[in-house]
Chains A and B, each alone.
Chain A
Amino acid sequence: MTSPLTPGITAGRLAPEVIAENFSDLHPDLDPHEAMVAADRCYFCHDAPCVTACPTEIDIPLFIRQIQAGQPEAAARTIFDQNILGGMCARVCPTETLCEGACVREIAEGKPVEIGRLQRHATDRLMARNSHPYARAAATGKRVAVVGAGPAGMACAHRLAMHGHDVVVYEARPKPGGLNEYGIAAYKTPSDFAQDEVEWLLGIGGIEIRHGQALGREITLEALRAEHDAVFLGMGLAGVNALHTEGETREGVRDAVDFIAELRQSSDLSKLPIGRRVVVIGGGMTAVDAAVQSRLLGAEEIHMVYRRGRERMSASEHELTHAATEGVRIVTNAQPVAIHGNGAAREVEFEYTEDGPDGLRPLGETFRLPADQVFKAIGQRLEGAPEGLVIEHGKIAVTGAGRTGLDGVWAGGDCTGGGEDLTVTAVAQGRDAAEDINAHLMG
């Protein structure tokens, strides 16, 4: 029997039922009465700020009014019209920085309309009907290749299929969903929701997903272009940034994205090993997800260390507060200098920093944090981008609705610049590219 105090990296630090409870739904569904009360708080603002704040521009006041009027399924339709992954976005969107952050009641009272939870209330109900709400237009005979079955790719594929095109999605991994399946904290999307959502989305028909097809490995852009009328690239960021720190290869040091993916694919979390003392390096959502989930697995002590100030962290304040509440200690203005140990990691040495007008400046003073396990979460990068694409700031450069410099090639999602790396942004880019592709093919 292990416990949070067991040294090293080990599984089963908490009882299986405790782990199961820890990873249960973070924000359970609103029941119909709760939804009615929550919906009643919406003022149906004119030219509502929440809509402007939504990257997919869902008509939020309309869908909330439809919930008020007793038709959550109609509300869901309003949501899906703009965002076919509205179910996942309802679970993972940082609503406090998007729609709910713009809600006039957030500004007036610090208590916004619970748009995210209302969206989930609506979308869950329509999806529970197990029938797909959209029909395809007459077949156009056009074939479009979509690279990557993540949010951008699936949103693009769905919209293309709706317009009557045949879509083949090429996916490197064994399952579709992209970061929804491999990259988001498990407690945000329990019960295999990512797979259920893709399956539901495919209900439109006309979309074929081929797995084990990585760009530059099994497939090439050149071949895709030759065989299809258009290509959409939505393969995300496969590469992970390295720390370039002494001791980075020690046992117990790994990429946070790998840990999260393993966790998401684990059928029994009580068998997933975790360190007693965990250090997460980074300040984004991946870092938070790794840190919080380490805690939920039973790690005794977790530090999340970021080299700049808290205000520069890309994780939202809401997420940071959640992490702190779970017991994650957030350390800022400290950068890793070395990972010490004898074979396996034992300590991480950090140096204090100061973020000034000339950039980050090390202050010379160092400290050490004990660590059986170290997760690197300092960002991902584009890997193996095909020849001929313009790369800016490490991402594919696009103009307008995801147009690359190459004829007949569009791109969207995390692999492109512009917009935050959010599911909802990827959906918007995929959808808009699909509309542009459709206009181009049918024009």
Chain B
Amino acid sequence: MANLATDFIGIRSPNPFWLASAPPTDKEYNVTRAFRAGWGGVVWKTLGFDPHIVNVNGPRYGAVWGADRRLLGLNNIELITDRPLEVNLREIKKVKRDWPDRAVVVSLMVPCDEASWKTILPMVEETGADGVELNFGCPHGMSERGMGSAVGQVPEYIEMVTRWCKAHTRMPVIVKLTPNITDIRHPARAAHAGGADAVSLINTVSSITSVDLDLMAPEPTIDGKGTHGGYCGPAVKPIALNMVAEIARDPETAGLPISGIGGVTTWRDAAEFLALGAGNVQVCTAAMTYGFGIIKELTAGLSLWMDEKGYGAVSDVVGRAVPNVTDWQHLNLNYVTKARIDQDLCIKCGRCYAACEDTSHQAISMTEDRVFDVIDAECVACNLCVNVCPVEGCITMERLPTGAVDERTGQTVSAEHGDWKTHPNNPMAAAAE
């Protein structure tokens, strides 16, 4: 049986599933329920100085749904905790005392001056919490006041604040990054340079989920107006995976621990984050959608998969896919595939045909009795037919063996690796030795 226990920058937890800093971790009551359900740790909802902030009194969430109201994406305009600092600190202390085997990390957001951080860090330390997470990610509300993503978008500030925090606490420091930047490696490098023990990402993506076409206002709408929120949930997972991988494979941040966040909904999502270099994952939207009970599927699922694959510990999985994340220029252009349609599985809907004929390479033929076939001489192996086919496994990509002739190009498939760097069409190509 796989061992799910993790040691993330010295913080131990019985499994790699932490609840992210968000409404589920705002109170002792919720966190206790989460730990009872089996969550490995929490990042307490972001603390700030008193007087505590206030939230809007109208709706604070917007959503994107699938047809059966399956929640695909959620956005929020909620701010950091709206409870007094002292209340949160007291509850954190009690929870950590009651649940010593669980990770309790405290998210923080105070103004961008050293005194503020120097003031709050000892207060957190006193609770016995396992670490702090610097909220440099929140893209709405707090950013207007010079905090949250307003810091996370300026690498120099990240480095500066991280340095202060490392100087004023013995606790491990995790820096939470905003995805609302152009190149995630720069804020990660800054955190690293400032001495961060780890980065966590992604925070939410700036978003407007929908527009009320009667009110002519973005949703959620507050008295006829709306503001951008932070987007999260399954819809943002691909963005998060890429950013995690970018940091994991960046030589400048190599080895910097990563806490993966962004749309983790099932064990598989978690496994993917781990494979791309995350040492653990943080979950929020899935818990907010389904409740804390999903932890049973997450842990059982990850454990079962690890058993099947022979991974004894979470650390065996971490970063396993990172060596296979590369730049486009290194992709093997001599890897030639063609779409193949399994006629026994085909239900003759013709979506592959419409997609290819209208929007791709006219590489699928259709007969009068609705038999769809791939025209190898046209197929560029784009994979669109695979992606639009409603039947899983019906259309697959089959590699042409070495020595076969690609009917589209007339060229013989080479066994050698050949990429853009050496391609004759590349004006910068290095002559092959």
A positions within 8 Å CB-CB of B: 33, 36-37, 39-40, 43-49, 68, 104-105, 107-108
Contacts and interface: CB of A to CB of B under 8 A. Distances in A.
A33 B350 contact: no
Interface of A is mostly: helix
Nearest to A37: B68
B353 A46 contact: yes
B392 to A, nearest CB: 12
A45 B351 contact: yes
Nearest to A44: B351
Contacts of B349: 43, 45-46, 104
A40 B70 CA distance: 12
17 contacts: A36-B67, A36-B68, A39-B67, A40-B68, A45-B348, A45-B349, A45-B350, A46-B349, A46-B350, A46-B351, A46-B353, A46-B354, A47-B366, A48-B350, A104-B347, A104-B348, A107-B348
B390 interface: yes
Given A46-B354, A108-B391, A37 B347 contact: no
Interface in B266-307: none
Nearest to A33: B69
B67 A49 contact: no
A296 to B, nearest CB: 34
B330 interface: no
Interface residues of B, number: 15
Interface in B1-53: none
A431 B390 CA distance: 36
B225 interface: no
B370 interface: yes
A68 B351 contact: no
Interface in B141-155: none
B67 A37 contact: yes
Contacts of A105: 347
Contacts of A39: 67
Nearest to B68: A37
Given A40-B67, A49-B348, A104-B349, 12 more contacts: A36-B68, A37-B67, A40-B66, A43-B351, A45-B348, A45-B351, A46-B351, A46-B366, A48-B350, A104-B348, A105-B347, A107-B347
A48 B366 CA distance: 13
B68 A49 contact: no
A336 B354 CA distance: 55
Nearest to B389: A43
Interface in B380-413: 390-391
Nearest to B394: A108
Contacts of B391: 108
B347 to A, nearest CB: 4
A105 B351 CA distance: 13
A68 B67 CA distance: 8
Contact of A108 (B66, B67, B69, B347): B347
A32 to B, nearest CB: 12
Interface string B349-375: 111011000000000001000100000
Interface string B224-242: 0000000000000000000
A105 B370 CA distance: 15
A48 to B, nearest CB: 8
Contact of B350 (A36, A40, A47, A68): A47
Contacts of A45: 348-351
Contacts of A40: 66-68
A44 B68 CA distance: 18
A108 B348 CA distance: 9
- Interface centre among B349, B350, B366, B390, by most chain A C-beta atoms within 10 angstroms, is B349
A252 B210 CA distance: 66
B103 to A, nearest CB: 40
Contacts of B353: 46
Contact of B390 (A43, A46, A48): A43
Contacts of A43: 349, 351, 390
Interface string B303-342: 0000000000000000000000000000000000000000
Nearest to A39: B67
Contacts of A104: 347-349
Nearest to B353: A46
Nearest to B347: A108
Nearest to B69: A33
A36 B353 CA distance: 26
A111 B354 CA distance: 23
Contacts of B68: 36-37, 40
Chain B CB within 10 Å, residue with most, of A33, A36, A46, A104 = A46
A49 B351 contact: no
A287 to B, nearest CB: 35
Given A33-B69, A36-B67, A40-B68, A49 B347 contact: no
Contacts of B354: 46
B389 to A, nearest CB: 10
Given A104-B347, A104-B348, A107-B347, A49 B370 contact: yes
Contacts of B370: 47, 49
Contacts of A47: 350, 366, 370
A391 to B, nearest CB: 36
A48 B353 CA distance: 12
Contacts of B366: 46-47
A48 B354 CA distance: 11
A329 B67 CA distance: 41
A303 B390 CA distance: 45
A47 B348 CA distance: 10
A49 B370 CA distance: 9
B357 to A, nearest CB: 8
B242 to A, nearest CB: 29
List of 5 A-B pairs having minimum Cβ-Cβ separation, nearest first: A46-B350, A40-B67, A108-B347, A46-B354, A45-B349
A362 B67 CA distance: 57
Contacts of A33: 69
A15 B87 CA distance: 67
A37 B68 CA distance: 5
A43 B390 CA distance: 8
Interface in B56-114: 66-69
A51 to B, nearest CB: 12
Contacts of B69: 33
A37 B66 CA distance: 9
A36 B70 CA distance: 12
Contacts of B347: 104-105, 107-108
A47 B69 CA distance: 29
Nearest to B345: A108
A36 B351 CA distance: 21
Contacts of A36: 67-68
A112 to B, nearest CB: 11
A191 to B, nearest CB: 29
Contacts of A44: 351
Interface in B111-153: none
B35 to A, nearest CB: 36
A107 B345 CA distance: 11
Contacts of A37: 67-68
B151 to A, nearest CB: 41
Q: Which of B68, B350, B354 has the most CB of A within 10 A?
A: B350
Contacts of A49: 348, 370
A74 to B, nearest CB: 15
A44 B67 CA distance: 15
A49 B368 CA distance: 11
A68 B66 CA distance: 11
A68 B348 CA distance: 22
A50 to B, nearest CB: 11
Nearest to B358: A46
A47 B347 CA distance: 13
Residue of B69, B347, B351, B354 ringed by the most chain A CB atoms within 10 A? B347
Contacts of A108: 347, 391
Nearest to B354: A46
A280 to B, nearest CB: 39
